[in-house]
Amino acid sequence: MKKIGVLRFPGTNCDRDIIQAVNESGGVGEYLWYQDRVDINQYDGFILPGGFSYGDYLRSGALAAQAPVMDDIREAASKGMPIMGICNGFQILCEAGLLPGALMRNTSSRFIDKWVNLEMISPHQFFGGQRISKGEVVHFPIAHADGRYYIDERELSGLHDNEQVWLTYKDNPNGSVANIAGVKNKEGNVGGMMPHPERALFEWMGGSEGLMIFL
């Protein structure tokens, strides 16, 4: 059974949901506090949940990226351990320099909560693995105000060349460059996405394809 460290910053609010998702997929989720140091060898991977860390002060994710626990996450990333950031977690990973690009205010300037269709461009080696194959379309909810993915053109072509684009929106809700909803680092062990797979675990939630991301 795999053990996943679930990071909690002040203002994180999808932490309980991630624990539910990890448990449903047969793993064990354990909270990690932002001020504590972590023995990374105790874990098989890490998830940074969504929310409003530090109330989105300064910029979404900017303050959390400086928290003590992030030093350990950087070390885990460099050792090739699986790390995933969802929504605010994705913003934090970008701010921490572990993922390329940045997340900006939606073009509508408003928070958007809705179900979207996503195309799998390049599966993550751990999160979801081959369960969702290339080209397959899945249905997850989004819920964010700062979800417009931005990266300059030169880096964008690098993303495509290295197969770092994880998921794209079928119908771009927020103005993201190249419809990008999720990306990975060059090595492929760190990934981030704006949509919430943990809100699509069961049919009663409105869809169950998200469970595959946690298996």
Partner 1 sequence: MDLKEKLEHYRINSDEYEAIKKQLGREPQGVEWAIYSAMWSEHCSYKSSKLHLKKLFNSSPRVLQSFGENAGVVDLGQGERIAFKMESHNHPSFIEPYQGAATGVGGILRDIFTMGARPIALGNFLCFGEPHATRMESLVDGVVRGIGGYGNCVGVPTVTGQTEFHPSYNENILVNAFALGLFEKGKEVFLSKAHGEGNYVVYVGAKTGRDGVHGASMASESFDEDSESKRPTVQIGDPFYEKLLIESCLEVMEKGLVVAIQDMGAAGLTSSSFEMAAKGGVGLDIDLSKVPLRDSSLTPEDILLSESQERMLLVCEPGQFKDLEEVFHRWGLDASVIGTVTREEAIKLHWKGELLTQMDPQMIVESAPVYRRPFEKWENKWESATNFTSLAPSEPIEIIRKGLSSIEGCSRQWIYQQYDQRVGGQTRRDCESSISVIRLPQTERSVAVVLGCRPHVMRFDARVGGIDSVAYPALELAIKGFEALAVTDCLNFGNPEKSEPMSDFVAAVEGMSDMCRTITAPIISGNVSFYNETQSRNITPTPSTGVVGLREDFSDLPTDELLEEGLRVFWIRFKPEQNYFSGMWSDEKGEVASGQFNMDIDELANFTRCMRNLCSEPRVKASRMVGKYGLAYSLARFSMAGFGIEGQPGLKPEHYNREDFYGALIATHAEMTQEMAMEYIKDSCKDSPGKVEIIELGQSVRDRIAIDHWQIPCSEIKEIYCNSWRKHFESLA
Report the DSSP beta bridge partners of residue 120. 167
**DSSP 3-state assignment of 1?**
coil
Nearest to 108 by CA among 195, 170, 173: 173
> Which residue in the set 6, 17, 81, 94 belongs to the binding site for partner 1 (CB under 8 A)?
17
Going by the DSSP 8-state scheme, the letter that residue 145 receives in this structure is S
Considering the rule CB under 8 A, would residue 201 count as an interface residue with partner 1? yes
Closest to partner 1 by CB, 63 or 190: 63
Stretch binding partner 1 (CB under 8 A), from 76-84, 92-100, 109-117, 184-192 = 109-117
CA dist., res. 207 & res. 34, Å (int):
32
Nearest to 101 by CA among 45, 160, 169, 170: 160
Considering the rule CB under 8 A, would residue 146 count as an interface residue with partner 1? no
Considering the rule CB under 8 A, would residue 162 count as an interface residue with partner 1? no
State the nearest-atom distance from the C-beta of 206 to partner 1, in Å: 8
Considering the rule CB under 8 A, would residue 184 count as an interface residue with partner 1? no
State the nearest-atom distance from the C-beta of 169 to partner 1, in Å: 15
Considering the rule CB under 8 A, would residue 169 count as an interface residue with partner 1? no
58: left (phi over 0), alpha (psi -120 to 50) or beta: left
Task: Give me the active site residues, please.
Answer: 87, 196, 198
